[in-house]
Amino acid sequence: MTISRMVQVVAVCLLVSAPALVVEAQILNASMPSSTEGVHQAVGSTEAESEHSRFLPVSWPSIPLPTITMPKLTMPKVSMPTWPTHPDGTYYSPFAPITAGASKISAGTKKVWEGTKEMFGFGASEETTQPSLPAAANAQPSFWQRMTGQEPEPTGPQTVAEWMSQPRLDP
């Protein structure tokens, strides 16, 4: 089993500092002995000891230390900003800038699309660019045609798809 270095350092420090410590004990609330038996009187007086000591009693002048006070800190008064409101007192939506930007982009895109359609329409109006619906083959004759008894003339195919769907005339 090895002893760590920290334990060794602490043990050595305690051994070195132990003789330097002077321990004095005083019994508090001890009653004074009533008789003189068991009580030893001091051999010498305290005045004689002070005369024979190496150091003479000296009173050092007192130096007043400066008093240090902590600075007074006050917190600044901070208030949260208020949310903007409409004139009627209702709050603006937090998404108002986003929706405004999206509507601007939408309006610009629609304008560009209309310009593109106009550019590739080669000046044609909107009525002519829309395809016409083919007339129904089983259309009933008009009132005038029924009165005169004329049959309507057959109309030829209007689109390539109608022309291709006709029966072939080859035998």
Question: pLDDT for 69-91, tens place per residue?
Answer: 999 999 999 998 888 888 898 88
Q: Which of 171, 137, 167 is nearest to 155 (CA)?
A: 137
Instruction: Please tell me whether residue 156 adopts helix, strand or coil conformation.
Output: coil
Q: Please report the pLDDT score of residue 99 as a whole number.
A: 92
pTM (2 decimals)? 0.26
Q: Strands, DSSP E only, in the chain? A: none
165's CB contacts (< 8 A; 6+ apart) are 157
**pLDDT > 70 fraction of the chain, expressed in percent and rounded:** 64
Q: What is the dihedral of CA 43, 47, 48, 53, to 10 degrees?
A: 120
pLDDT tens digit sequence for 122-155: 766 555 555 556 555 566 777 887 888 777 677 8
Q: Which of 60, 64, 44 is nearest to 52 (CA)?
A: 44
